[in-house]
């Protein structure tokens, strides 16, 4: 079936019967369309979730336009079809297609997945099957596309080792283009599929699981991971863009037809984080910190506003208020765009660097809600996780917000953190009550009306390359009890309490710390009907347990077992620049509730400055 016929069938026979047809239409403003006769490489950028989630992802926007800026590469978008659309596609024998050309993606050279969340892994398997491709890498043959993956979850690639052909470790702007150049050379050479994987493995940042052997001890822990050939690196080093000055950033973005999760311009102001929160994988693996210049950011904002028609800019980073020139940037953006009614939003604000002057600038066009993340309810617990903020910081920040008219506040906490006690859960409730008390301390004539106050309590999940990677997760029944306790403690207060489904967090922990043996469980669970596991209405815990039982694997081995500090971890052959010595030191300090200083003030010896010759830290 040709792409024209696919398009006709979709429009006439399928879309009238699905819930949100706008997810599958394509042809949005600023989408890229190329002549297939004038390109050498076709790349399907696949996001393993629905359109609304995928179109909110900044990495997709950057890499989509980067690849399409190359004359001989055509990058198209693919999203996971919602179950109603998938049923129609399977009923009509329509394979997974790309939005731009409407062509089936098994005709492409690369099928690339971004790994943002472990609970999207079954969607990856499902999308490959829907595309008519073997779900196991070993079963793919000459002429079929290479399946590549990257993103934060790729730092523990092993749970997808049987599915993905090659992983891109680290920042992809330079790495992806190098892989594409290697592919062109391979394509012209007439060599085999396996020979391309050998060639790609020679590129720094590329990990090919099939080129490594994994040996296990009698207790099921890993003995060692070794390359099969001498020319394959023993450790795969992540790629880092050394400087963001003039680094690629699109001057236009696709404008969706339907509302998406983050429906606005996202302006990346810097990468990395120096705070060292011990639960936070992103804060570790995205090091070192690199900032964009104010002048360049304003130039990018000009182009994006002109090309998109958006009326809101979000400043994107792991911790926006840590940008060294934030006040200057905000003032210049508001001075330029206030008269045009372009709003500015600041996510990821720290409660110890929240200023009245900043708030007054941001609210000149309109107020949005404010989110703060104390993460823990007691000072002891905040010291354990190295959050580095105090109760006084929070009360001062929310007081400033209330006094300047903000009536929507959200607080983020974690439950199930290492060393946590019931007193720490009570501390969350106590802190929330103090925030409410601060609201009522504002004189009635100045107090904002219709207060919206949300308390979100997510479940701690131990992640690779963090000081807590050795820690077990709380069992679901314990997390449920803590959730009930918190809800009861805040029952009569003007606070809405939200939390994560603990059994979803359980499975997230299994894949966050899993080895390549869980690949088989993943495929088995998918065959039993698991997909869209991050969506509560589709999560099938009983099917996951059935998959583990049929495969003879104990999930508790991955989620609830405290790892020995000398144990070989499934991701030890990946080098993110943070040394195991540093992570061990931070883990031991956590157990004593000792703080580590922000590495903007003093080098903490994490190892990232050794990743590149000559160092990259400032």
Q: How far apart are the first and last CA of the chain?
A: 55
The contacts of residue 405 (CB under 8 Å, 6+ apart) are 363, 367, 448
Please tell me the distance from the alpha carbon of residue 469 to that of residue 518, in angstroms, as a whole number. 18
Of the chain, the percentage scoring pLDDT greater than 90 comes to 84
pLDDT at residue 113 is higher than 70: yes
Overall average pLDDT of the 46-64 stretch: 97
Query: H-helix or E-strand containing 175?
Result: helix 172-189
pLDDT at residue 261 is higher than 80: yes
pLDDT at residue 20 is higher than 50: yes
Mean pLDDT across the chain:
94
Query: H-helix or E-strand containing 430?
Result: helix 422-441
Overall average pLDDT of the 399-427 stretch: 93
What the block records as the tokens of 397 is 């920040």
Which of 229-243, 372-386, 603-617 has the weakest average pLDDT? 603-617
pLDDT recorded at residue 6: 73
pLDDT recorded at residue 614: 47
Question: How far is CA 604 from each of CA 208, 215, 284, 288, 608, rounded to the nearest angstrom?
Answer: 32, 34, 12, 12, 10
Q: Is 163 helix (H, G, I), strand (E, B) or coil?
A: coil
CA within 13 Å, CB half, 410: 13
Beta bridge partners of 146: 110
Of 400 and 250, the one with more pLDDT: 250
With vertex at residue 539, the alpha carbon angle to CA 549 and CA 150, rounded to the nearest 5 degrees, is 90
pLDDT at residue 492 is higher than 90: no
Give backbone dihedrals phi and psi of 561, rounded to 5 degrees, phi first: -90, 130
pLDDT band at residue 562, thresholds of 50, 70 and 90? very high
- Give yes or no for a contact between 528 and 541, defined as CB atoms under 8 angstroms apart: no
Overall average pLDDT of the 52-65 stretch: 97
Overall average pLDDT of the 583-611 stretch: 93
- Give yes or no for a contact between 135 and 125, defined as CB atoms under 8 angstroms apart: yes
Q: What share of the chain is helix, strand, coil (3-state, %, to 5)?
A: 40, 15, 45
b/e per residue 221-230 (b: at least 16 CB within 10 A): bbeebebeee
pLDDT recorded at residue 610: 82
The contacts of residue 28 (CB under 8 Å, 6+ apart) are 254, 255, 256, 257
For residue 226, the 8-state DSSP code is E
CB count in 10 Å sphere of residue 257: 15
Overall average pLDDT of the 478-484 stretch: 96
Of the chain, the percentage scoring pLDDT greater than 70 comes to 97
pLDDT recorded at residue 417: 98
pLDDT band at residue 613, thresholds of 50, 70 and 90? low
Question: How far is CA 222 from each of CA 369, 567, 568, 570, rounded to the nearest angstrom?
Answer: 46, 8, 6, 7
For the sheet with 206-207, list strands across it.
73-79, 41-47, 110-114, 146-150, 166-168, 206-207
- Give yes or no for a contact between 408 and 444, defined as CB atoms under 8 angstroms apart: no
pLDDT at residue 36 is higher than 90: yes
Please tell me the distance from the alpha carbon of residue 568 to that of residue 599, in angstroms, as a whole number. 28
- Give yes or no for a contact between 54 and 113, defined as CB atoms under 8 angstroms apart: no
- Give yes or no for a contact between 456 and 410, defined as CB atoms under 8 angstroms apart: yes
pLDDT recorded at residue 96: 97
Which of 119-128, 360-369, 508-517, 548-557 has the weakest average pLDDT? 360-369
- Give yes or no for a contact between 46 and 121, defined as CB atoms under 8 angstroms apart: no
Domains of the chain by range and CATH?
3-28+38-237 (3.40.50.280), 264-500+577-618 (3.80.30.20)
pLDDT digits (tens, 9 = 90+) for 328-362: 999 999 999 988 999 998 876 777 766 767 777 87
Please tell me the distance from the alpha carbon of residue 164 to that of residue 186, in angstroms, as a whole number. 19
pLDDT digits (tens, 9 = 90+) for 63-97: 999 999 999 999 999 999 999 999 999 999 999 99
Q: Residue 125: which of 466, 532, 419, 573 has the closest Cα?
A: 532
Which of 255-259, 301-305, 341-345, 455-459 has the weakest average pLDDT? 341-345
Please tell me the distance from the alpha carbon of residue 406 to that of residue 445, in angstroms, as a whole number. 14
pLDDT at residue 524 is higher than 60: yes
Q: Is 326 helix (H, G, I), strand (E, B) or coil?
A: helix
Question: How far is CA 271 from each of CA 221, 243, 322, rounded to the nearest angstrom?
Answer: 34, 10, 11
């Amino acid at each position: 079936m040709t792409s024209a016929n696919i398009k006709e069938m979709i429009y006439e026979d399928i879309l009238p019967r699905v819930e949100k047809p706008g997810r599958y239409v394509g042809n949005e403003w600023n989408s890229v369309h190329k002549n297939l006769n004038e390109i050498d490489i076709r790349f399907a950028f696949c996001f393993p979730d629905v359109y609304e989630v995928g179109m909110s992802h900044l990495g997709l926007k950057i890499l989509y336009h980067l690849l399409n800026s190359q004359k001989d590469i055509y990058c198209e978008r693919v999203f996971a079809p919602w179950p109603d659309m998938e049923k129609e596609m399977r009923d009509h024998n329509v394979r997974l297609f790309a939005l731009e050309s409407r062509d089936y993606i098994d005709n492409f050279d690369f099928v690339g997945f971004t790994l943002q969340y472990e609970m999207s892994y079954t969607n990856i398997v499902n999308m490959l099957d829907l595309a008519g491709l073997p779900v196991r890498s070993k079963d793919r043959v000459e002429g079929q596309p290479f399946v590549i993956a990257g993103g934060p979850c790729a730092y523990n690639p092993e749970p997808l080792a049987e599915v993905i052909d090659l992983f891109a470790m680290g920042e992809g702007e330079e790495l992806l283009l190098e892989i594409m150049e290697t592919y062109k050379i391979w394509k012209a050479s007439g060599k085999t599929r396996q020979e391309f994987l050998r060639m790609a493995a020679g590129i720094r940042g590329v990990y090919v699981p099939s080129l490594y052997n994994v040996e296990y001890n009698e207790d099921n822990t890993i003995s060692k991971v070794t390359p099969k050939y001498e020319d394959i690196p023993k450790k795969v080093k992540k790629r880092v863009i050394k400087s963001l000055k003039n680094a690629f950033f699109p001057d236009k973005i696709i404008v969706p037809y339907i509302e998406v999760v983050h429906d606005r311009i996202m302006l990346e102001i810097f990468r990395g984080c120096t705070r060292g929160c011990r639960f936070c994988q992103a804060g570790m693996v995205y090091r070192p910190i690199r900032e964009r210049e104010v002048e360049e950011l304003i130039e990018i904002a000009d182009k994006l506003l002109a090309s998109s028609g958006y009326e809101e800019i979000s400043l994107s980073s792991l911790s926006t208020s840590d940008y060294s020139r934030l006040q200057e940037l905000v003032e210049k953006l508001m001075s330029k765009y206030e008269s045009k009614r372009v709003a500015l939003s600041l996510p990821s604000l720290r409660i110890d660097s929240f200023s009245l002057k900043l708030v007054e600038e941001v609210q000149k066009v309109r107020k949005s809600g404010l989110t703060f993340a104390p993460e823990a309810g007691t000072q002891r617990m905040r010291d354990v996780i190295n959050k580095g903020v105090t109760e006084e910081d929070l009360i001062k920040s929310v007081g400033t917000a209330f006094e300047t008219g903000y009536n929507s506040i959200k607080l983020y906490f974690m439950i199930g953190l290492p060393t946590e006690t019931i007193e720490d859960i009570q501390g969350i409730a106590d802190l929330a009550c103090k925030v409410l008390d601060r609201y009522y301390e504002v004189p009635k004539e100045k107090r904002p009306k219709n207060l919206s106050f949300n308390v979100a309590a997510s479940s701690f999940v131990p992640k690779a390359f963090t000081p807590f990677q050795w820690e077990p997760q709380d069992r679901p029944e314990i997390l449920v009890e803590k959730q009930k306790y918190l809800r009861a403690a805040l029952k009569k207060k003007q606070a809405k309490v939200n939390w994560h489904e603990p059994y979803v967090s359980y499975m997230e922990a299994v894949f966050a710390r899993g080895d390549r043996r869980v690949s088989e469980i993943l495929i088995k669970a998918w065959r039993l009907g698991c997909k869209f596991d991050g969506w509560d209405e589709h999560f099938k815990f009983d099917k996951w347990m059935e998959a583990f039982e049929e495969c003879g694997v104990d999930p508790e081995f991955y989620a609830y077992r405290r790892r020995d500090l000398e144990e070989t971890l499934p991701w030890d052959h990946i080098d993110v620049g943070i040394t195991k010595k540093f992570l061990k030191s931070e883990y031991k300090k956590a157990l004593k509730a000792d703080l580590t200083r922000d590495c903007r003030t003093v080098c903490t010896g994490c190892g990232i400055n050794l990743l590149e010759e000559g160092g990259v830290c400032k």
